[in-house]
């Protein structure tokens, strides 16, 4: 993949050398044909370059070879990455090679190890090399040239050239391991031996909330922690702090520096060694490594190498250094998020450090990703999925496409359930939550909350609720959203049990949403702020709501209303939720009026709604809680007269009406 504009190379640019079809890498006579000028788009000039069957050979016996691209177009400040695969020529006496990678006024020397076996060159010999530069202010060419020096092989095979640009202002290395990801982006932890590894630790009084730590091990371990690539300037240094919870001998910390790669073989002799009790004390001690001698280098890595023989646990923190480059590897995407879930779609987004501008998104209804669908995304790291099946669990993962067949590992898997289709009428919902496990919510319900657990099912919370119920707690605002209904909202009534812990539980609201992904669309229909802290039956009529076809998500809301007293450690619970058609006529709160009461009788007036057909009532002593256990009596004339009552006794009376239709 490449692009040319006025003889300039636009990025990303790739060159797989497929046009060089002659020759091979099978023998010392397999690549005799020179590459002609103009054979490779984006390449301006070549010296000592030969066709090698889909690759390019650079250099002859004792003579260097190389090429230069057309000027590279970069848009603003940032970084340029040069990536390629290479292997040294096979000779009777295997020798390593070097290449100088240039970009504008900047150069980096890359060491290529000797190929220590007989012909042919195979795929595993072709190692990947990544070099980074600060973007030049003007369009500048990239060059790669072999090096002639004592002990060097001047001939190499090269393939899969890739040039990338990443925008952004230069950053300075500053790492305190406060983020939960370890190793942090751009850092590399290499485990050589033993079972102990570098890890993030929040124990032993880190400088902030965390530090890097590698524990002692019996009999031994060997581990490296390597910084991101840096580009020091004169006067720059790297500072860090170390300590141990308890000092023991037999542990050494070596500080080493590489100017080419993170490969352990590229690091030089230790520039500092720490091992004694005064060098690794039990309180934080600061050290500084001068980087001035590496000024002008653009791939400087500092390694913290620990070799332990059942000695001490080493803590490392508060690291500051020179300007750093983005992660040059093909970075695994992270921070996968799912938003705006609908019955047939969802929006996916992710983050990624490094140079990838293309990703592969894979999604499936199977956790094994059997039969998965793949989509390639270029540019912005996001994708809107469509055409999904309602009420179905989906699994999603993403990997970076670093071009020419190079991919990162898959990201972690994210899951989501598409929303259910609206319930078709007639509506008759009964949900008592008893079939659910704790921390669940009903299928087809959803929630908007910042808490990891609530609202969700709990068992026997008290306050009159002795079975499972939904608890609201620990954050606000919380929205519990029922499955949408497929009938007009203003034809329905909601009944449920509500229990309040105390005054600081605040006001509990019931309403509806037009968008179950957006809490700003919530409209309250009823508010409850009872001073009775036990379960109470609640009924909400939606008959006064103007139905518009999209506001059919009945929603429970927990959290402060206005400036009332409220605390998230004061709770609400709901249970026994029912939704059904509202009656065509209904009794209001002022339906009953006590007109007269004497020791043995009472007279109660009642108001009737329009459309009624009959009136019945029941009554009993105060201990009766279920009117269904009583025998109803027909009422007429708008008044109920009850006799034969016991003096000084509390009674309850219930009334219901029959409605036309």
Please indicate, yes or no, whether residues 12 and 153 belong to a single structural domain of this protein. yes
Contact 74, 11 (CB under 8 A): yes
DSSP H or E run through 449: none
What is the rounded CA–CA span in Å between residue 503 and residue 559?
12
What is the rounded CA–CA span in Å between residue 351 and residue 480?
29
Please indicate, yes or no, whether residues 44 and 132 belong to a single structural domain of this protein. yes
pTM: 0.76
Please indicate, yes or no, whether residues 288 and 410 belong to a single structural domain of this protein. no
Is residue 501 in a domain?
yes
Please indicate, yes or no, whether residues 200 and 235 belong to a single structural domain of this protein. yes
Q: What is the CATH number of the domain that holds 608?
A: 2.60.40.10
Is residue 617 in a domain?
yes
Domain boundary among 324, 349, 383: 324
Position 256 pLDDT exceeds 80: yes
Position 366 pLDDT exceeds 80: yes
The pLDDT score that the predictor gives to residue 509 is 99
Beta strands of 582-660 (E only): which ranges?
592-598, 601-606, 612-621, 633-634, 639-642, 651-659
Please indicate, yes or no, whether residues 314 and 252 belong to a single structural domain of this protein. yes
Question: In whole angstroms, how far apart are CA 635 and each of 45, 487, 640?
Answer: 105, 34, 6
Phi first, then psi: what are they for 532, rounded to 5°? -105, 120
Chain-wide mean pLDDT for the chain?
94
What is the rounded CA–CA span in Å between residue 43 and residue 19?
12
Please indicate, yes or no, whether residues 369 and 456 belong to a single structural domain of this protein. no
The pLDDT score that the predictor gives to residue 661 is 60
Position 659 pLDDT exceeds 90: no
Cis ω before 12 (30° cut-off from 0)? yes
463 φ/ψ sector (left φ>0, alpha ψ -120 to 50, else beta): left
Q: DSSP assignment, residue 35?
A: P
Which pLDDT band holds residue 120 (cuts at 50, 70, 90)? Answer: very high
The pLDDT score that the predictor gives to residue 4 is 37
Please indicate, yes or no, whether residues 159 and 183 belong to a single structural domain of this protein. no
Segments forming the whole domain that contains residue 229: 171-324
Please indicate, yes or no, whether residues 342 and 319 belong to a single structural domain of this protein. no
Which pLDDT band holds residue 658 (cuts at 50, 70, 90)? Answer: confident
Which tens digits make up the pLDDT trace of 599-625?
999 999 998 887 788 999 999 999 998
Beta bridge partners of 201: 211
Beta strands 72-73 and 8-10 are: parallel
Which pLDDT band holds residue 2 (cuts at 50, 70, 90)? Answer: very low
Read off the pLDDT of each residue in 566-595 and give the average, rounded to a whole number: 91
The pLDDT score that the predictor gives to residue 234 is 94
Please indicate, yes or no, whether residues 128 and 230 belong to a single structural domain of this protein. no
Is residue 587 in a domain?
no
Q: What is the CATH number of the domain that holds 224?
A: 2.60.120.200
The pLDDT score that the predictor gives to residue 325 is 87
Domain boundary among 581, 609, 641: 581
Q: DSSP assignment, residue 474?
A: S
Higher pLDDT among residues 391 and 186, named by residue:
391
Number of domains in the chain: 5
Beta strands of 104-154 (E only): which ranges?
106-112, 127-134, 142-146
Which pLDDT band holds residue 545 (cuts at 50, 70, 90)? Answer: very high
- Cα angle value 96/231/130 (rounded, 5°): 45
Is residue 479 in a domain?
yes
Q: Exposed (0-12), middle (13-18) or buried (19+): which is 269, by Cβ within 10 Å? A: exposed
Read off the pLDDT of each residue in 107-132 and give the average, rounded to a whole number: 95
Cis ω before 477 (30° cut-off from 0)? yes
Which tens digits make up the pLDDT trace of 267-291?
999 999 999 999 999 999 999 999 9
Please indicate, yes or no, whether residues 99 and 210 belong to a single structural domain of this protein. no
Q: DSSP assignment, residue 562?
A: T
State the DSSP string of 331-359: PPPEEEEEES--SS-EEEEEE--SS--EE
Q: What is the CATH number of the domain that holds 121?
A: 2.60.120.260
Which tens digits make up the pLDDT trace of 177-217?
999 989 998 899 999 999 999 999 999 999 999 999 999 99
Longest distance between any two alpha carbons in the chain, whole Å: 124
What is the rounded CA–CA span in Å between residue 456 and residue 473?
9
Contact 217, 185 (CB under 8 A): no
Which tens digits make up the pLDDT trace of 316-365?
999 999 999 888 889 999 999 999 999 999 999 999 888 998 999 999 99
Is residue 329 in a domain?
no
Q: DSSP assignment, residue 624?
A: -
Is residue 423 in a domain?
no
Structure-token pair, residue 239? 């500072």
Phi first, then psi: what are they for 124, rounded to 5°? -65, -20
Domain boundary among 278, 298, 324: 324
Q: Which of 98, 191, 85, 76 is nearest to 151 (CA)?
A: 98
What is the rounded CA–CA span in Å between residue 569 and residue 527?
20
Position 390 pLDDT exceeds 50: yes
Q: Which of 384-388, 519-523, 656-660 shows the lowest mean pLDDT across its residues?
A: 656-660
Contact 77, 171 (CB under 8 A): no
Residues contacting 423, CB < 8 A, separation 6+ = 429, 483, 484, 485, 486
Please indicate, yes or no, whether residues 318 and 191 belong to a single structural domain of this protein. yes
Please indicate, yes or no, whether residues 12 and 108 belong to a single structural domain of this protein. yes
What is the rounded CA–CA span in Å between residue 182 and residue 162?
28
Is residue 422 in a domain?
no
Position 1 pLDDT exceeds 90: no
């Amino acid at each position: 993949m490449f692009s040319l504009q006025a003889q300039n190379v636009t990025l990303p640019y790739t060159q797989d050398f497929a046009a060089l079809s002659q020759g091979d890498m099978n023998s010392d006579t397999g690549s005799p044909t020179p590459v002609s000028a103009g054979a490779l788009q984006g390449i301006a000039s070549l010296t000592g370059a030969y066709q090698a069957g889909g690759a390019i050979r650079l250099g002859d016996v004792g003579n260097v070879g190389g090429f230069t691209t057309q000027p590279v177009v970069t848009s603003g400040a940032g970084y340029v990455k040069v990536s390629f695969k290479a292997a040294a020529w096979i000779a009777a006496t295997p020798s390593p090679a070097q290449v100088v990678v240039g970009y504008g006024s900047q150069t980096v020397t890359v060491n290529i190890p000797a190929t220590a076996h007989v012909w042919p060159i195979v795929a595993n010999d072709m190692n990947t090399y990544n070099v980074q530069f600060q973007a030049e202010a003007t369009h500048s060419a990239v060059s790669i040239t072999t090096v002639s020096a004592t002990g060097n092989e001047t001939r190499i095979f090269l393939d899969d050239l890739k040039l990338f640009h990443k925008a952004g202002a230069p950053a300075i290395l500053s790492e305190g391991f406060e983020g939960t990801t370890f190793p942090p982006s751009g850092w590399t932890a290499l485990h050589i031996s033993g079972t102990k590894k570098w890890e993030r630790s929040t124990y032993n009084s880190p400088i902030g909330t965390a530090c890097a730590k590698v524990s002692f091990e019996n009999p031994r371990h060997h581990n490296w922690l390597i910084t991101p690539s840096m580009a020091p300037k004169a006067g720059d240094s790297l500072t860090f702090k170390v300590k141990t919870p308890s000092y023991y001998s037999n542990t050494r910390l070596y500080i080493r520096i590489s100017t080419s790669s993170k490969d352990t073989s590229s690091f030089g002799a230790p520039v500092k060694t720490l091992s004694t009790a005064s060098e690794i004390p039990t309180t934080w001690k600061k050290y500084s490594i001068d980087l001035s001698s590496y000024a002008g280098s653009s791939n400087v890595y500092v390694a913290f190498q620990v070799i332990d023989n059942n000695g001490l646990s080493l803590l490392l923190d508060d690291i500051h250094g020179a300007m750093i480059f983005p992660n040059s590897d093909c970075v695994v995407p992270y921070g996968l998020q799912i938003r705006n879930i609908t019955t047939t779609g969802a929006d996916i987004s992710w983050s990624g450090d490094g140079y990838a501008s293309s990703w592969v998104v894979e999604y499936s209804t199977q956790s094994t990703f059997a039969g998965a669908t793949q989509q390639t995304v270029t540019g912005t790291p996001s994708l809107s999925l469509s055409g999904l099946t309602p009420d179905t669990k989906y699994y999603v993962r993403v990997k970076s496409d670093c071009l020419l067949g190079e991919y990162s590992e898959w990201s972690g898997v994210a899951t989501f359930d598409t929303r259910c289709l609206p319930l078709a009428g007639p509506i008759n919902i009964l949900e008592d939550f008893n079939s659910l496990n704790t921390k669940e919510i009903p299928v087809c319900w959803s929630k908007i909350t910042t808490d990891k657990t609530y609202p969700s099912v709990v068992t026997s919370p008290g306050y009159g609720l002795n079975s499972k119920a939904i608890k609201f707690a620990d954050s606000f605002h919380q929205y519990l959203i029922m499955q949408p209904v497929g009938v007009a909202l203003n034809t329905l009534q909601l009944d449920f049990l509500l229990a309040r812990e105390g005054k600081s539980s605040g006001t509990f609201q019931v309403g509806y949403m037009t968008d179950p992904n957006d809490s700003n669309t919530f409209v309250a229909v009823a508010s409850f702020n009872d001073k009775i802290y036990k379960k109470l039956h609640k009924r909400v009529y939606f008959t006064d709501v103007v139905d518009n076809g999209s506001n059919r998500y009945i929603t429970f809301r927990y959290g402060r209303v206005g400036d009332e007293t409220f605390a998230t450690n004061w709770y609400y619970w709901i249970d026994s939720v029912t939704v059904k058609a509202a009656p065509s006529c209904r009794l209001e709160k002022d339906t009953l009026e006590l007109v007269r009461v004497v020791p043995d009788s009472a007279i109660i007036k009642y108001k009737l709604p329009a459309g009624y057909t009959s009136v019945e009532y029941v009554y009993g002593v105060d201990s009766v809680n279920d009117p269904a256990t009583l025998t109803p009596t027909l009422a007429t004339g708008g008044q109920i007269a009850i006799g034969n009552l016991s003096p000084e006794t509390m009674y309850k009376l219930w009334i219901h009406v029959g409605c036309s239709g």
